[in-house]
Structure 1
């Protein structure tokens, strides 16, 4: 192994596995990445099948169709001509939060996370096939997108099961022994001066 200090570079610090909170954050971001792959594949397939069959477009359209008229009018008053943009920004925020949750779930139970992605794919299929302009293949974008999301989540999930870093032994006393030492030393009587 070459000596980094001789070449003028600082030696690399040993890499440690992320802590508990770091692994949760990685799992959440793995869910977001898998969700992005799901949506991207769905959009790409919809470009061939029909734009209205994109999972995001189909679900957004289904939400608009089922929204009460008074709420639609309030959204139009609040956002003007940008009401569709507001809808898709809101939908993206919800999808991001759900994807983070699925990523966290995948860390504990990959099967349950796979089931969650299947359910979300089924929601996309139901929304796409019930659209007025749905073709015979309207289900494909959601199915293929969900499949791509599952593969992505599973592959990323393999890298999330990193055991916590081992504490160095012998170098320093453990936290519990430090507390015992502190308690013992504070219990010693102090000689008057």
Structure 2
């Protein structure tokens, strides 16, 4: 008998090794799929919490007359971007391709800084709405999730980036829809 036909316990060795390989491959595949599902579930749970915080904080700031108009426009755009998958994906690609270090703070950032002393609740809620909205945007859609870690690292490097980020949101909104969407329709209706 040659080596290929050598049997172990009356079964050809080749057949046993094939079965063992197939079982091992399926086990590895199921483990990977299971791990991916667990990770995605955690991402969606985090996105759900971030969305709730975003909408709660946005509701508190959008109707406040002390909020600078440009900051309000950026927040409205962010609310729409968070709600629409195509807009969200487009924003994330634009945001991640843009060199944040070269960004200047929005012209209204000084107004927000002054409000920090007189209306700290407004500034804190604006920051909460901005950050939780961005986190939700990155974690809600699978195509955006891969950028979340880099976004987090860049954000950690400079925690006073609300105005820069809001300015990027406003600029992207203008590049997609022009100066203003005066028709009263949502931006999402245009995609």
Given the two structures, how large is their TM-score scaled by the length of structure 1? Answer: 0.25
Higher relative contact order (CA closer than 8 Å, sequence separation 6+)? 1
Structure number having the greater helix percentage: 2
TM-score (norm 2): 0.25
Structure with bigger gyration radius:
1
